[in-house]
Chains A and B, each alone.
Chain A
């Protein structure tokens, strides 16, 4: 079955870059049927879509984060990655990777999430 797994540092200093990778199994990331997404959830709060990438490298980002975010894909490793620059405490959150359909926008498979804390 489809599985997604986030990995990366759990602690990032203010103004540095947050970097996470999502490893996908059970589904080729090169499938033309899906977008690969990042979503985050600050502690005790709701969900915020960050952005997504298609296997070709085409991306779409939430306008509120667009100036600081970059998502890339490595089809050879069946992985995609998130970079968020100039982080502050407001970026502290559980970060999820998720799959969404190409022709629909709901998220049907999610990783378990990884907590990233921004602190000196």
Chain B
């Protein structure tokens, strides 16, 4: 089973700042099968990025994903008030698909 480790655990930033979230895999994720989700309190996760860098339908272009192999990054270019949430990465290149433990982006 591939273990995903997200860092940092919490990111304290101000609106308008850039957020850089990391997801590191315990072994290579095949074919860049890596997704990112956003979760707000009391809500289900929302798909942001799939295939490491493809934005899901309706996702603003301030969200971007990059990386390959074992190291992946989610970047939010300029934080909007609605972006403060918990972000999870998920690998689906090998079964079972596994999730990272999450990074909370909080208002500084």
Contacts and interface: CB of A to CB of B under 8 A. Distances in A.
Interface of A: 46-49, 60, 62-63, 96, 98, 100, 104-108, 110-113
Contacts, number: 52
A105 B92 contact: yes
Interface residues of B, number: 23
Contacts of B43: 112
B88 A46 contact: yes
Interface stretch (B10-18, B72-80, B94-102): B94-102
B56 interface: yes
A106 B99 contact: no
B96 A62 contact: yes
A83 B102 CA distance: 27
A62 B98 CA distance: 10
Given A46-B88, A47-B99, A49-B97, A107 B45 contact: yes
Given A47-B99, A49-B98, A62-B96, A106 B44 contact: no
Given A47-B45, A108-B50, 12 more contacts: A46-B99, A60-B95, A96-B44, A96-B45, A100-B92, A104-B33, A104-B51, A105-B35, A105-B90, A107-B37, A107-B47, A113-B44
B70 to A, nearest CB: 18
A48 B51 CA distance: 20
Interface in B25-43: 33, 35, 37, 43
4 smallest beta-carbon distances between A and B, as pairs: A105-B92, A110-B44, A106-B35, A47-B99
